[in-house]
Amino acid sequence: MFPDRQTDRRTDGRTDKRNSIAPLLRRFRTIMEPNLPHEYMKTDIYLIHWLKVRNFEIPAAVRMLRENLRWREENEMDTLLDEDWTEFNNQYRFNLDGCADNGEPVVVLFAGKWDMRRAVLAGQSDKMRRNIDKCFEEASTVLRNVQARGSNATRTNRRGQICLVLR
């Protein structure tokens, strides 16, 4: 009926995009995999994120991921969730309410009740910053777990952010 239109699946835009991403992903994985300390970091979805935020330019994605790995190591992010957060969990509460329908992790911060000045005056400003890192690490962990169970949570949102609700 429409001789000028191709209906072959190989010309489907999504299939073409997947075919063009696959070689980039293989090259990126070859470069980065020896440096990735966790299995989740070796997954396609994790690696594609870094390529995507750098417009699929491999050198830029490599630099950005290496910088992130360096930051994670310097800030001891791998042990962050194992620390004693009892005091901060009571004073600086937040809820991780799972994921919204579109797959975004939903974090509710009760920021109006957070007495940041108190933390600073008590010499706990570094711990407060670390507590905020913990909030995002927990949300990222939830997203990874949802993905590992096979749910279609492919990104946090269009801007790569976690949905925050401030109360």
Model pLDDT for residues 13-28, shown as the tens digit of each residue = 445 556 689 999 999 9
What pLDDT sits at residue 133? 92
Residue 157 has pLDDT above 80, yes or no: no
Domains and CATH numbers, the chain: 9-74 (1.10.8), 78-166 (no CATH)
What pLDDT sits at residue 75? 94
pTM listed for this prediction: 0.74
What share of the chain has pLDDT > 70, as a percent?
Answer: 77
Q: How far apart, in whole angstroms, are the C-alpha atoms of residue 20 and residue 49?
A: 15
Structure tokens at 22: 């696959």
